[in-house]
A = this chain, B = another copy of it.
Amino acid sequence: MGLIVQKFGGTSVANTERLFHVADIVTRTYDQGNNVVVVVSAQGDTTDDLIAKAAEVNPHPSKREMDTLLSTGELISSSLLAMAIEGKGYPVVSLSGRQAGFYTNSNHGNARIHKIFDERLKKELDKRNIVVVAGFQGLNKYDDITTLGRGGSDTSAVALAATLHADLCQIYTDVDGVYTADPRIVKNAKKLDEITYDEMLELASLGAQVLHNRSVEMAKKYNVKMEVLSSLEDKPGTKVKEVVKMEKMLIKGVARDNNVCRVSVIGLPDKPGIAFRIFALMAKKNINVDIILQSIGRENTKDISFTCPCEQMDTALEVLNGELESLGAEKVEVNDNVSKVSIVGAGMQSNPGVAATMFEALFDAGINIQMISTSEIKISVLIDRKDSERAMNVIHDAFEV
């Protein structure tokens, strides 16, 4: 007999019909002899509706009150799912985050899980109850409700799987797995059977929206086997784990991130310490600098360019313009019409030809590379946004993933 944690997102529990379908999946897993712990998000648009209600009453509510309000969404979906499972004649109990033992820090709206006190969970599982847990929420040391922020329910599920030493943590969603590229953009995108934690982390942080980084990081840390699969179709999904079968595929995926812009400081004096000063200014404003390029400018000057998220561009521009004179720079230019396209794969570490293949594919397609950044398992390039979908396709084709 195994223990399986199954997480269902907001779309999967959006209405009565979907709830019945989820109840079918859960009870089938239970019938196979497993203990089952289910984690649910709030139904469909519930969270957005609650946020809108709050905004009407107070445009700047305290995060503490907001957390109490938002936590009701998962209480509703978890008790409704428990009722649906009861209706099928199975033993079941719903638990709030607090009842399931989630203790967090006090960072309302984006709390971190300190510990899960699993006495109640174990007691319910010993009774052979299916346990439905309200995701996304916990309790802090002041006995106040907290929420876990973006990707919170995924994190709840992985944390439960780690604490209970579950055999598998299944993340049911509205796509049927992790793809080599967004299938809406790359026609030939293939579903992966397996992917490593590190590859999944790179893909997630590079724009693939299937899993949130935080849950994958936790899964890697506690060695929780994950599976991403569809709540709508009955077929295997993608397994996320430490080591995967050796395959011919050099790369696991092509990702695109449009939330990126380029900031260039032009005509800097060619003196030591200039780059340091620029990035110290950015760090002070919490600007998330990603790719950096230093190049030779005209007449013994140099240019320094970097990328940051679009919403931080204006702040970066303002700070740098205020320091133009002290930096001795000529001007600052920004460009928010760019995309970052990346390839990810543990296989590329030992394959020096990977970068060449990628750049050649882009060259053949006449796509200009503005900046390059590499890590052990990924290569990112900054290109014109208008070229980004074509870039994904030609790269995908070049690697025959």
- Which of the segments A58-66, A208-216, A262-270, A276-284 contacts the partner chain? A58-66
| Residues of chain A in range 42-100 having any CB-CB distance to chain B below 8 Å | 50, 53-54, 56-62, 64-66, 68-69, 71-72, 75-76, 78-80, 82-84, 86-87, 93-94, 96, 99
- 0/1 interface trace, chain A 310-321, chain B, CB 8 Å (1 if under): 000000000000
Q: Is A94 within 8 A of B65, CB to CB?
A: yes
The closest CB in chain B to the CB of A82 belongs to B65
Residue A150 CB within 8 A of the other chain: no
Q: Is A80 within 8 A of B87, CB to CB?
A: no
Interface centre among A57, A60, A76 (most CB of B within 10 A): A57
Q: Return chain B residues, CB-CB under 8 Å to A60.
A: 87
Given contacts A16-B57, A56-B16, A57-B83, contact A96 B76 (CB under 8 A): no
Within the assembled complex, what's the spacing in Å between the Cα atoms of A80 and B84? 29
Q: Is A72 within 8 A of B62, CB to CB?
A: no
Copies of this chain, whole number: 2
Q: Return chain B residues, CB-CB under 8 Å to A80.
A: 53-54, 57, 69
Q: How far is the CB of A301 from chain B (nearest CB, A)?
A: 52
The closest CB in chain B to the CB of A71 belongs to B75
- 0/1 interface trace, chain A 141-169, chain B, CB 8 Å (1 if under): 00111000000000000000000000000
Residue A120 CB within 8 A of the other chain: yes
Within the assembled complex, what's the spacing in Å between the Cα atoms of A72 and B64? 16
Given contacts A76-B69, A79-B69, A80-B53, contact A143 B99 (CB under 8 A): yes
Given contacts A50-B76, A75-B72, contact A83 B96 (CB under 8 A): no
Interface centre among A50, A58, A82, A144 (most CB of B within 10 A): A58
Given contacts A53-B80, A57-B19, A80-B54, contact A86 B72 (CB under 8 A): no
Q: Return chain B residues, CB-CB under 8 Å to A66.
A: 79, 83
Known: A60-B87, A66-B79, A69-B76. 20 other contacts (CB 8 A): A19-B57, A53-B80, A54-B79, A54-B83, A57-B80, A57-B84, A57-B87, A58-B84, A58-B86, A62-B86, A65-B79, A65-B82, A65-B94, A68-B96, A69-B75, A69-B83, A71-B75, A75-B75, A96-B145, A120-B143
- 10 nearest A-B pairs in the assembled complex, by CB-CB distance: A58-B87, A58-B83, A72-B72, A61-B83, A69-B79, A68-B79, A65-B79, A16-B56, A57-B83, A57-B84
Contacts A/B (CB < 8 Å), 11 sampled: A19-B57, A20-B57, A53-B80, A57-B80, A58-B83, A61-B86, A65-B79, A65-B82, A66-B83, A69-B79, A99-B144
